[in-house]
Each structure stands twice: as C-alpha cells, then as structure tokens.
Amino acid sequence: MYLHLGKNTTVDTDDIIAILDLDNITIAKYSREFLRIAEEEGFVRSVTDDIPKSVVLCETNNQSVVYITNISSKALAGRVKRTKNFSEYSLYSLDE
C-alpha cells in the first residue's frame, strides 16, 4: 500500500521506518542533531507549504529519505494502521 504525504508525494508503507511528531522530536538533542545532519546530507524532502507537523523516515533501495509533512503523525499512523496487518508488531501510542 501507499501513503500520501502531501504535494503529490506517496511512499510505499513497507518503506516506512518511523512516523514522528515534529514538536516532540525537536525537543531531544539527538533528534535535532539527526534532522540537522539529514538536511546537510540532502536526505530531507519537504512535501508541504504549510506549517510542518510530522517527519516520516523511509528507506528505499538502501537510501534514507526524511519527509517533512503538514499531516499529523496521528493521522498518518492511523492510515497506515488501517492498511497493514500489525499482528506481529508492537505498536506504541501516547494516546492509548
């Protein structure tokens, strides 16, 4: 299945490593450092003209891509959860 991130950008759900809330990850020093290095290395792709809300980390053909989107992490995770069978995974949510 594919997940729409914005600006005509979709990713294969099998390529998604993490869906992260931008406000939460910018608090931690190591997360900020990761985003800074990813941007310097050219791995960051902004798929929004609005206020960014989420970061979607993907790996395709051994190439990492960090997408910045205005769709909330909760909405993105909900869409993925509806399309995939997570019986073998442990899902963690702050809302549950």
* Higher pLDDT among residues 83 and 42, named by residue: 42
pLDDT in tens, 54-68: 999 999 889 999 999
pTM of the model: 0.83
Domain boundaries, the chain: 2-80
Residue 80: its pLDDT value, please?
A: 85
Q: Evaluate whether 45 touches 5 at the Cβ level (below 8 Å).
A: no
% residues pLDDT > 70 (the chain): 85
Q: Evaluate whether 84 touches 26 at the Cβ level (below 8 Å).
A: no
pLDDT in tens, 23-64: 988 888 999 999 999 999 999 999 999 999 999 999 988 999
From residue 69, how far is each of 54, 75, 86, 87, 88 by CA, in Å? 5, 11, 24, 27, 28
